[in-house]
Structure 1
Amino acid sequence: MAIERDDDLLKKIAILEEEVGQLRRAVVSHAVIDQAIGVVISHGRLLPDQGWNVLRTVSQNTNTKLRLIAEQIVQWPHSGRLPEDIQRALKAALARA
């Protein structure tokens, strides 16, 4: 009986540790996406909702995860570089916004 309870407890701990890890990754991703929206709205002189739509459009048009697009856009002002496909998609999305 005690061994079964220990096993159940260990399984619950493992599940909770995985959930905590997922939540931590989600918080970091959300922060990066918010920062990227800030870059986009500043660059394109847009409202926040428009910045979100531009970011989402770039992600869809490049078939790249939103988080990865956000990371590239956040680094762009510092590095001065943006991958060509993202640059083209961003320019097109900003023109439509």
Structure 2
Amino acid sequence: MCDKNAQLRITVHSHAVVDQAIGVLLAVGKLTPDQGWTILREVSQRSNIKLRRASELLIDWAHTGTLCTDVRIEPERQLAP
């Protein structure tokens, strides 16, 4: 039972991180939630980084203003006018 509780906590935390990253993209790009999800998914797939890690990097970007090139390329491409 402890393993299931631990796994549930991890899952809930991961969802929160993903939602926060989508929020960052919404704020930066004035997007809909679906558009934010699409960009986040593309960032993960094109940079070959797990979705949760890509989300963490985007959240850090909101705090620090820096984002590694591998991750930055896709949001910049998607958000360009």
Tell me whether the two structures share a fold, i.e. TM-score over 0.5. Answer: yes
Q: Percent identity?
A: 47
Q: Does 1:23 align with 2:8?
A: yes
RMSD: 1.4
Correspondent of 2:43 among 58, 62, 68: 58
Q: Give the counterpart letter for 1:61 in structure 2.
A: R
Looking at structure 2, the residues matched to 92 and 41 of structure 1 have their Cα atoms a distance apart, in angstroms, of: 15
Q: Paired residue for 1:12?
A: none
1:94 deviates by: 3.0
Post-superposition CA distance 1:49-94 (Å, at most 9, x none): 1100110011000111000000010111211111111001221233
Gaps of 5+ in 1: 1-15
Partner of 2:68: 83
Does the 8 Å contact 2:58/2:67 carry over to 1? Answer: yes
Structure 1 residue runs of 4 or more that deviate by more than 3 Å after TM superposition: none
Q: CA deviation at 1:32?
A: 0.7
What's the offset of the Cα at 1:42? Answer: 1.0
Distance 2:75 2:28 in 1: 10
Give the structure with higher Rg (CA): 1
Matched, 1:45 2:33: no
Gaps of 5+ in 2: none
State the alpha-carbon separation in 2 of the partners of residues 94 and 27 from structure 1: 28
Higher RCO (C-alpha under 8 Å, 6+ residues apart)? 2
- Alignment: residue pair count: 81
Output the amino acid matched with 2:41. Answer: R
